[in-house]
């Protein structure tokens, strides 16, 4: 059959890859005279942003200070944070939240009366509490904050005639000087992206004067995760292949309380449930169960004075240790003692979802396990979101901006997306040259590949990768386990590279290729860190070194 000619390139002023909080904030901050395309690999609302529950952190409570939020962020981050970034984000938090409120995000208000005369909206927002925060600091929309934020940003972007929202477009590689016609004369830099169009099944060229990477995190590299399917680290892998440094990939955050249920694999029980007084308990012993007791001992006192409000890394490790000590499959999160009205008011989404699954959390404890939740590492950026590659900016979970250090403080992530989404757009405009041109880009070459006849290779390798990452590169690490993981990553890299070189790309193959790269970067980083700090805990080096240093991987230095 005659092959169709390659599709024409699509040219924009700015290309934003990713339609979550970071990407949409960047697009909305750019001026309306620029043409902007926002790509999403599935639906526009399918990223992690829409799944966020707890809320967004900001200094709003009387008596709270920027200094206190900065200190909490750096304590959680085990001193690895870059103080300048932490200050930059914390100080812009309340303005970022005001902008969301102006777009119509209906943050919950205090329920005690109408407020004082002259009181502003932000003084009346209800603030919840989460682990590691020394104040009530989290604005929220019930227990489904992310959905409200995503809807508001999506609606605002859809209303802007200069913004094209392009779902179903899987970016697969950044366009750099290597892809320019007559490449010998091309200047180093990013000029767009090749993307697989799920509708036409063709690879399309998008070109732009500025490209923003906002593709979210990589937690689906683990078998158990709170994240949507698309969190496969595509942006990290694309930037790495294009020559950008990545940093701190060993710090993957495990959320302590993901629902443990045979049918539902990635439903989060928000940290605000512990913030509002929920207790972690062991399952009842057989003797307790025989007496009708539904939940056993509280155990956090054995691990940390802050009990259930210790930072996530400590709580997740405590749960992991109890599960291993007792050989149990899960622990329990008990919020029934908060009262049925309180639970229904503060956690309506969780209450309703659990009822569908036969669990009434106003009377029964909730079975929970830790699961991979957030990538603290990523593409290195400065305070303007600039990467190592001219023409390429990045914002949100795909980056390592210096904010989170060795462990992210709860509810600082949406905040980072909002602040850096804006910073990136401001920096693009500060450098904007209306006369700049984009070079001619070569079409995607499919002349030497055929359709795959063995999709099983992809599905098998996906499952294997996630399994050994969970078992060998999980909450507690050892040199031996990391060595085993490194060995398996090496084999998979070769197999997937061969497969990629021979067969036409599909969304699953694109993601698998990226997951292998991300796993490689995580394992390399974990092996390089000979200490325990924040989320990286290894039994072989349990002490924390005196000096905190980022793990920086440079593609120029890493060859095999």
Residues forming contacts to ligand SIN in the complex (CB under 6 A) are 53-54, 270-272, 410-411, 413
* Residue 248's binding partner out of ligand FAD, ligand SIN, none, with CB under 5 to 8 Å set by partner kind: none
- The rounded distance, in Å, linking the Cα atoms of 465 and 460 is 9
**Cβ proximity to ligand FAD, 407 vs 412, nearer residue:** 412
**Cβ proximity to ligand FAD, 217 vs 365, nearer residue:** 217
- Is 311 near ligand FAD (CB under 6 A)? no
CB of 216 to ligand SIN, least distance (A): 13
Q: Which residue, 530, 452, 523, 526, is CA-closest to 491?
A: 523
**In the stretch 243-282, what mask flags binding to ligand FAD with x, by CB under 6 A?**
-------------------------x--------------
- The rounded distance, in Å, linking the Cα atoms of 531 and 456 is 39
**Cβ proximity to ligand FAD, 50 vs 319, nearer residue:** 50
DSSP state of 3: P
CB of 193 to ligand SIN, least distance (A): 28
Q: Considering only 81-89, 114-122, 169-177, 449-457, which stretch makes contact with ligand FAD by CB under 6 A?
A: 169-177
**In the stretch 24-63, what mask flags binding to ligand FAD with x, by CB under 6 A?**
---------------xxxx---xxxx-xxxxxx-------
Which of 132, 146, 405, 439 contacts ligand FAD by CB under 6 A?
A: 146
**Cβ proximity to ligand FAD, 16 vs 34, nearer residue:** 16
* Residue 380's binding partner out of ligand SIN, ligand FAD, none, with CB under 5 to 8 Å set by partner kind: none
Identified catalytic residue from 137, 205, 281, 312: 312
Residue 560 CB coordination number (10 Å): 4
CB of 56 to ligand FAD, least distance (A): 6
| Per-residue b or e along 169-204, where b marks 16 or more CB atoms closer than 10 Å to that residue's CB | bbbbbbbbbebbeeeeebeebbbbbbbbeeeeebbb
CB of 4 to ligand SIN, least distance (A): 44
CB of 218 to ligand FAD, least distance (A): 10
Q: Considering only 61-69, 76-84, 209-217, 550-558, which stretch makes contact with ligand FAD by CB under 6 A?
A: 209-217
- Is 166 near ligand FAD (CB under 6 A)? no
Per the structure block, which two tokens stand in for 206? 């998008």
**CB of 526 closer than 8 Å to CB of 515:** no
Q: Residue 301: which region, alpha, beta or left (left: phi > 0; alpha: psi -120 to 50)?
A: alpha
* Residue 215's binding partner out of ligand FAD, ligand SIN, none, with CB under 5 to 8 Å set by partner kind: ligand FAD
> Residue 90 half-sphere exposure, CB side, CA atoms within 13 Å?
25
CB of 83 to ligand SIN, least distance (A): 21
Which of 210, 417, 424, 516 contacts ligand FAD by CB under 6 A?
A: 417
Q: Could you tell me whether strands 252-259 and 399-400 are parallel, antiparallel, or unpaired per DSSP bridges?
A: unpaired
Backbone angles phi, psi at 35, to 5 degrees: -90, 130
* Residue 230's binding partner out of ligand FAD, ligand SIN, none, with CB under 5 to 8 Å set by partner kind: ligand FAD
- The rounded distance, in Å, linking the Cα atoms of 336 and 351 is 11
**Cβ proximity to ligand FAD, 295 vs 510, nearer residue:** 510
CB of 138 to ligand FAD, least distance (A): 8
**Cβ proximity to ligand FAD, 61 vs 479, nearer residue:** 61
Which of 131, 132, 192, 230 contacts ligand FAD by CB under 6 A?
A: 230
- The rounded distance, in Å, linking the Cα atoms of 413 and 411 is 5
- Is 226 near ligand FAD (CB under 6 A)? yes
Beta bridge partners of 125: 109
Per the structure block, which two tokens stand in for 59? 């200094």
CB of 143 to ligand FAD, least distance (A): 9
Q: DSSP readout, 103-116?
A: TT--PPBPSSSS--
- The rounded distance, in Å, linking the Cα atoms of 12 and 15 is 6
Contacts of 151 (CB under 8 A, 6+ apart): 45
Active site (annotated) includes residue 504: no
Q: Could you tell me whether strands 392-394 and 210-213 are parallel, antiparallel, or unpaired per DSSP bridges?
A: parallel
Task: Give 447: exposed, middle or buried? Use CB within 10 Å, 0-12, 13-18, 19+.
Answer: exposed
CA 43 → CA 17, 154, 217, 510, distances in Å? 13, 11, 17, 17
Task: List contacts with ligand FAD (CB under 6 A).
Answer: 17-23, 39-42, 46-49, 51-56, 145-146, 169-171, 214-216, 226-227, 230, 234, 268, 374, 396-398, 411-414, 417
Residues labelled catalytic: 312
């Amino acid at each position: 059959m005659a092959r169709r000619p390659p599709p024409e390139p699509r040219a924009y002023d700015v290309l934003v890859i990713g339609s979550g909080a970071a990407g949409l904030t960047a697009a909305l901050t750019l001026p309306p005279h620029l043409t902007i395309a926002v790509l999403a690999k599935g639906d526009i609302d399918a990223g992690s942003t829409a799944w966020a529950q707890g809320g967004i952190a900001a200094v709003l409570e009387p008596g709270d200070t920027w200094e206190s939020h900065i200190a909490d962020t750096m304590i959680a981050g085990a001193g690895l944070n870059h103080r300048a970034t932490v200050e930059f984000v914390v100080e812009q938090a309340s303005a970022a939240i005001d902008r969301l409120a102006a777009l119509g995000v209906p943050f919950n208000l205090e329920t005690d009366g109408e407020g004082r005369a002259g009181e502003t909206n932000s003084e009346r927002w209800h603030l919840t509490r989460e682990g590691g925060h020394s104040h009530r600091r989290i604005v929220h929309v019930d227990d489904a904050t992310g959905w409200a934020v995503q809807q508001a940003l999506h609606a605002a972007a859809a209303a802007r005639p200069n913004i094209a929202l392009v779902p179903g477009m899987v970016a697969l590689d950044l366009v750099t000087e290597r892809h320019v016609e007559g490449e010998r004369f091309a200047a180093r830099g990013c000029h767009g992206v090749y993307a697989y169009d799920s509708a036409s099944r063709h690879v399309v060229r998008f070109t732009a004067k500025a490209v923003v990477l906002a593709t979210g995190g990589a937690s689906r590299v683990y078998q158990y995760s709170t994240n949507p399917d698309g969190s496969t680290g595509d942006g990290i892998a694309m930037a790495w292949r294009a020559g950008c440094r990545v940093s701190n990939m060993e710090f993957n955050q495990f959320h302590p309380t993901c629902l443990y249920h045979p049918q539902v694999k990635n439903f989060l029980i928000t940290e605000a449930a512990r913030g509002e007084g929920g207790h972690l308990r062991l399952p009842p012993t057989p003797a307790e169960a025989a007496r009708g007791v539904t939940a056993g001992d509280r155990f956090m006192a054995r691990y940390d004075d802050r009990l259930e409000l210790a930072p996530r890394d400590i709580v997740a490790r405590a749960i992991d240790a109890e599960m291993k000590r007792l050989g149990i499959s899960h622990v329990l999160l008990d919020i029934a003692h908060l009262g049925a009205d309180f639970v229904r008011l503060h956690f309506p989404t969780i209450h309703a979802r659990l009822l569908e699954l036969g669990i009434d959390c106003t009377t029964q404890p909730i079975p929970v396990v830790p699961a991979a939740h957030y990538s603290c590492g990523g593409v290195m950026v400065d305070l303007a979101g600039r990467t190592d590659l001219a023409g390429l900016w990045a914002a949100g979970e795909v980056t390592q901006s210096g904010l989170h250090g060795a462990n992210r403080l709860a509810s600082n992530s949406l905040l980072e997306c909002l602040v850096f989404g804006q910073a990136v757009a401001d920096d693009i405009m500060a450098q904007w040259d209306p006369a700049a041109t984009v070079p001619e880009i070569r079409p995607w070459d499919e002349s030497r590949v055929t359709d795959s006849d063995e999709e099983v290779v992809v599905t098998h390798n996906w499952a294997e990768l996630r399994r050994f990452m969970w078992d060998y590169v999980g909450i507690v690490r050892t040199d031996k386990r990391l060595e085993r993981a490194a060995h398996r990553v090496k084999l998979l890299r070769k197999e997937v590279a061969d497969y990629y070189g021979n067969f036409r790309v599909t969304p699953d193959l694109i993601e698998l290729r990226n997951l292998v790269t991300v796993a490689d970067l995580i394992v390399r980083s974990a092996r390089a860190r000979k200490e325990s700090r924040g989320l990286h805990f290894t039994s072989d080096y349990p002490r924390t070194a005196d000096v905190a240093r980022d793990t920086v991987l440079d593609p120029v230095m890493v060859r095999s």
